[in-house]
Amino acid sequence: MAPDVPSPDENPLQAELDEAQGQRDLLRTEVSELRAELSRLRQQQAIKAAAGQATGEVVGKVALSIAMGLGVRRAFERLFQAMHGGDLFPVQEMADVGAAVIRRMVFTQLLGTFIAVLPLLLLIQQNWLLTESNTRDAQHARVARSTHLIELLYEVDCPSRLGDTSCEPLAPARLRSEAARSYVELERELENQHINLSEARLDQVVLRQVEFAGVDLEEAMLNEADLRGADLTGAVLAFATLTDADLTDADLAGANLRGADFARAELRRVDFGQADLRAANLDGAVLHGADLSDVQNLPQARVSGATYSESTRFPKRFKPDQAGLTLETHPRD
């Protein structure tokens, strides 16, 4: 009798591959959109820089023409044509008005005052153009760096989880660790109030004592990650996967941990503060010395098989033994 062969739909490895391919396609789309935005911004910068340079040259020629008393109307006409292509106002009429104003100033002997003020006006214009250029450069740098960092975060060159041993599994993990740190630092420098690393693939990364307070890590993959001493206060870790991760001495006060998977995770001396543990999985986790006295929805979390020590703090009326936790009287700290 021939053995039963599982159908493709029942093959867990194929399902994982399909899911990973789908995530990769979505991330590639996001990276393509960022690249398109970067290209568009560069084109705008080139156009505005050319327009600013042309306007500056024309302003200089206008000043020279006025100083020499030659071609005032023609100079104004060229100036208004250079400004936004002359599409903001009728060029001929504005040139006539400008020439009439200059003639009136000459007639009233105010031309000397205008010439004296002209260098100041030119300096103001140059400063304005320089400020605009610096702003555009900073915006382009942000888009370019964000695009690069997103590629580093999500492109995995070593699929060790699928059994490929052709490369060292920790190498891409280290790369993604540095990319994650740089991405969060960049967003904070720009005073971004919502730093998004949701669905990031950060398995086996080393992020010891990282400052990730308030970062959105919803559905992120942090299996076997080293987060010892990490500051994750107020972070969003809803439905994140942290199986076998090490969060010793981490700060999770106020974090959203709904549906998060901490199976077999090291949670020694973790401060959970008022974190929400609804539907979280703590099966087999090590809670020695952890502070869960103020957590929310602990009875609705899965804690069977987890271990705790005498220094572990639980909410009032919570009975760890009845919930399936095991007391270790001589924990290995």
Q: What is the mean pLDDT of the segment spanning 294-314?
A: 94
Q: Is the pLDDT of residue 99 over 80?
A: no
- Residue 157 in contact with residue 167, Cβ under 8 Å? yes
Q: What is the pLDDT of residues 173-185, one digit of tens each?
A: 777 888 888 888 8
For residue 225, give its domain range.
Answer: 194-333
pLDDT of residue 48: 67
Q: Is the pLDDT of residue 313 over 80?
A: yes
Q: What is the mean pLDDT of the segment spanning 222-251?
A: 96
- Residue 209 in contact with residue 229, Cβ under 8 Å? yes
Together in a domain, 226 and 318: yes
Least confident among 18-27, 149-158, 185-194, 215-224: 149-158
Q: What is the mean pLDDT of the segment spanning 145-165?
A: 60
- The band of 33, judged by pLDDT with boundaries at 50, 70 and 90, is confident
pLDDT of residue 179: 84
Together in a domain, 113 and 218: no
Q: Tokens 């103020």 sit at which residue?
A: 294
Together in a domain, 119 and 244: no
In sequence order, what are the residues at sequence separation of 6 or more whose Cβ sits closer than 8 angstroms to the Cβ of residue 178? Answer: 152
Q: What is the mean pLDDT of the segment spanning 235-252?
A: 97
Q: Is the pLDDT of residue 244 over 90?
A: yes
Answer with the residue of higher pLDDT: 145 or 209.
209
Together in a domain, 145 and 257: no
How far is residue 156's CA from residue 43's CA, in Å, rounded to a whole number? Answer: 31
- The band of 162, judged by pLDDT with boundaries at 50, 70 and 90, is very low
Together in a domain, 264 and 135: no
pLDDT of residue 284: 95
Q: What is the pLDDT of residues 203-231, one digit of tens each?
A: 889 999 999 999 999 999 999 999 999 99
Total domain count for the chain? 2
Is 310 part of a structural domain of the chain? Answer: yes
The first and second tokens of residue 274, run together, are 């008022």
Together in a domain, 114 and 240: no
- The DSSP letter of residue 193 is S
Least confident among 113-117, 173-177, 219-223, 241-245: 113-117
Q: Is the pLDDT of residue 80 over 90?
A: no
Is 266 part of a structural domain of the chain? Answer: yes
Mean pLDDT value across the chain: 78
- Residue 219 in contact with residue 237, Cβ under 8 Å? no
Together in a domain, 96 and 203: no
Greatest Cα pair distance in the chain? 113
Together in a domain, 123 and 239: no
Is 177 part of a structural domain of the chain? Answer: no
Together in a domain, 23 and 145: yes
Least confident among 58-67, 102-111, 123-132, 140-149: 58-67
Is 157 part of a structural domain of the chain? Answer: no
Q: What is the mean pLDDT of the segment spanning 261-290?
A: 96
Q: What is the mean pLDDT of the segment spanning 12-37?
A: 72
Provide the 3-class DSSP secondary structure of residue 212. coil
> In angstroms, what CA-CA distances link 249 with 187, 208, 232, 289, 324?
26, 10, 11, 9, 24
pLDDT of residue 200: 86
pLDDT of residue 160: 44
Together in a domain, 110 and 18: yes
pLDDT of residue 257: 97
Share above pLDDT 70 across residues of the chain, in percent, rounded to a whole number: 71
The CATH number for 226's domain is 2.160.20.80
In sequence order, what are the residues at sequence separation of 6 or more whose Cβ sits closer than 8 angstroms to the Cβ of residue 73? Answer: 95, 96, 98, 99
* Closest by Cα among 105, 97, 183, 110 to 145: 183
Q: How many residues does the chain have?
A: 333
